[in-house]
């Protein structure tokens, strides 16, 4: 976490008498824009910009987000009160419906950011939630920024309590923790008091979930994980605002979130809650340089480096060995038969073998890499069959969360080995602001003309200015495929 912000006296005895939900709710209900350090505000806006750009690309690119577009179609058809905007749709719908559709789009390309401490894709839930609720409530840009920060900080902290435990028990940490980030954003924009916000967290505990069963065949229902969390977080906050109550002990102890989903009732949340308002996770969230699972990015960075050495000798590659930490194995390497020849384009985004082969042969991983035509490239598929892996004890014992590497052996016996402790996009190996903006201009450019991209970029980077929320909503409704 990054330190900063006003010093706060910590009454430990009072904190000991409160549940985690009560402590979180008290912080969320009191948070105001002046309380947030400048660098945290800047990071929140840039992450929202990055997320929205990805959602625009998903809304218009053919074949990329079939299931997310099903959500768009459903909620556009069912309508309801006109409150909030869906990307690429003229008609406005309820805030919960818009957040579901936009969150699903923004998660569908696997190009959205990730918090490496919690392994939660916070922005893909928090951004659509906060924007939909800001539009619904007529909030100012400063209130929207506050809601973004509140959601990011809570989603990531809930994830820090049990990301590995969630994964080991078959749950996807993003929707499990993300629904509480959506509650935080919604409660902030609804100006709920601490007691009502506590109830909202309690209500959300009933709908915190999302399994990793999609991994077996690379099915796109994973895209809906962000949509469900956004939608359910908004409804939880609105239910509480209308008088629904929920358990104050939704997180800890018997039957709380961690015991129910992981079997661990004794998660110590004080280590992440004691820093609320004094340390910040939002600036530490990692941007993605490639539209694929982050467990592969270290190996992809290594592949790009090695390719620079052997670009004229690609036909002399003998074998390729990915160097990975243990958790990567079941997510992007096994079972081998479905990874060396992915069953679907989306499954390709979770195939280290296919992705590394594509990087070595093409020198890039972009949105076209996982298109239907590219996925049937026999040269890439042939090299993918020669990609093996080894688990690094150094990586397993180190402090880095997403390290990776690659060893390429040539036919004449030469070997090139590169290890990447921190993939590009993390705070220790950052993408610059100009690189993030270039990514946004590319992704948003699939659905907006150049002037439209510039206008949306300006509105997102200058959220404090009057009219910014309305300008963003208008830009999203104007998105159309540009035939690129």
Domains and CATH numbers, the chain: 2-284 (1.10.4100.10), 294-420 (3.30.1330.120)
Q: Give the mean pLDDT of 433-441.
A: 98
Handedness of CA 228, 84, 204, 245 (dihedral sign): negative
421: tokens are 């402790």
What is the model's pLDDT at position 216? 80
Under the banding of pLDDT at 50, 70 and 90, the label for residue 312 is: very high
What is the model's pLDDT at position 147? 98
What is the model's pLDDT at position 253? 82
Rounded (5°) CA angle 110-238-170: 40
pLDDT tens for residues 186-210? Answer: 999 999 999 999 999 999 999 999 9
Q: Give the mean pLDDT of 157-178.
A: 88
pLDDT tens for residues 471-480? Answer: 999 999 999 9
pTM: 0.94
Q: What percent of the chain has pLDDT over 90?
A: 83
Nearest CA to 273 out of 152, 154, 114 is that of: 154
Compute the mean pLDDT over every residue in the chain, rounded to the nearest whole number.
93
Under the banding of pLDDT at 50, 70 and 90, the label for residue 6 is: very low
Do residues 153 and 276 lie in contact, with contact meaning Cβ atoms separated by under 8 Å?
Answer: yes
Under the banding of pLDDT at 50, 70 and 90, the label for residue 15 is: low
pLDDT tens for residues 124-149? Answer: 999 999 999 999 999 999 999 999 99
Q: Give the mean pLDDT of 19-30.
A: 97
Distance, CA of 363 to CA of 375 (rounded, Å): 16
Query: Which conformational region is residue 5 in: left (phi greater than 0), alpha (psi within -120 to 50 degrees), or beta?
Result: left
Distance, CA of 125 to CA of 404 (rounded, Å): 27
Nearest CA to 49 out of 449, 461, 451, 432 is that of: 461
H helix runs in 11-140, sequence order: 12-17, 20-30, 38-60, 66-78, 95-107, 123-137
Q: What is the DSSP string of 408-428?
A: EEETTS-EEEEEESS-TTBTT
Under the banding of pLDDT at 50, 70 and 90, the label for residue 220 is: confident
Residue 211 has pLDDT above 60, yes or no: yes
Do residues 167 and 173 lie in contact, with contact meaning Cβ atoms separated by under 8 Å?
Answer: yes
What is the model's pLDDT at position 64? 67
């Amino acid at each position: 976490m990054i330190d900063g912000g006003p010093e706060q006296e910590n009454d430990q005895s009072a904190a000991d008498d409160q549940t985690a939900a009560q402590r979180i709710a008290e912080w969320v209900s009191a948070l105001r824009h002046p309380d947030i350090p400048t660098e945290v505000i800047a990071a929140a806006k840039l992450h929202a910009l990055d997320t929205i750009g990805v959602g625009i690309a998903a809304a218009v690119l053919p074949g990329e987000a079939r299931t997310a577009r099903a959500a768009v179609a459903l909620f556009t058809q069912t309508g309801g009160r006109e409150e909030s905007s869906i990307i690429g749709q003229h008609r406005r719908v309820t805030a919960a419906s818009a957040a579901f559709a936009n969150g699903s789009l923004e998660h569908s390309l696997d190009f959205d950011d990730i918090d490496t401490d919690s392994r939660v894709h916070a922005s893909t839930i928090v951004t659509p939630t906060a924007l939909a609720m800001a539009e619904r409530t007529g909030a100012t840009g400063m209130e929207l920024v506050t809601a973004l920060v509140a959601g990011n900080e809570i989603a990531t902290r809930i994830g820090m309590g049990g990301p590995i435990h969630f994964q080991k028990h078959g749950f996807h940490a993003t929707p499990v923790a993300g629904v509480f980030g959506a509650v935080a954003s919604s409660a902030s924009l609804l100006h709920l008091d601490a007691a009502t916000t506590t109830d909202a967290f309690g209500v959300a505990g009933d709908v915190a979930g999302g399994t990793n069963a999609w991994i077996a065949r690379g099915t796109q229902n994973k895209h809906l994980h962000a949509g469900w969390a956004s939608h359910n977080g908004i409804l939880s906050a609105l239910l509480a605002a209308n008088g629904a109550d929920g358990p104050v002990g939704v997180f800890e102890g018997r039957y709380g979130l961690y015991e129910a989903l992981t079997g661990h009732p004794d998660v110590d949340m004080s280590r992440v809650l004691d820093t609320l308002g004094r340390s910040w996770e939002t600036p530490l969230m990692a941007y993605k340089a490639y539209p694929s699972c982050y467990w592969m990015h270290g190996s992809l960075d290594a592949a790009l480096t090695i390719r620079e050495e052997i670009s004229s000798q690609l036909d002399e590659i003998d074998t390729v060995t990915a160097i990975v930490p243990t958790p990567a194995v079941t997510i992007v390497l096994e079972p081998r038969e479905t990874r060396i020849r992915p069953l679907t384009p989306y499954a390709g985004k979770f195939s280290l073998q296919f992705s590394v082969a594509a990087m070595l042969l093409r020198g890039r991983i972009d949105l076209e890499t996982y298109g239907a035509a590219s996925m049937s490239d026999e040269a890439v598929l042939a090299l993918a069959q020669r990609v093996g892996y080894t688990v690094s004890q150094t990586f397993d014992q180190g402090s880095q969360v997403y390290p990776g590497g690659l060893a390429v052996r040539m036919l004449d016996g030469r070997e090139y080995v590169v290890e990447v402790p921190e993939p590009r996009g993390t705070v220790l190996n950052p993408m610059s602001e100009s690189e993030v903006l270039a990514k946004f201009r590319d992704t948003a450019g699939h659905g907006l003309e150049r002037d439209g991209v510039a206008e949306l970029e300006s509105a997102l980077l200058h959220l404090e200015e009057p009219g910014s929320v309305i300008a963003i909503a208008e830009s999203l409704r104007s998105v159309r495929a540009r035939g690129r």
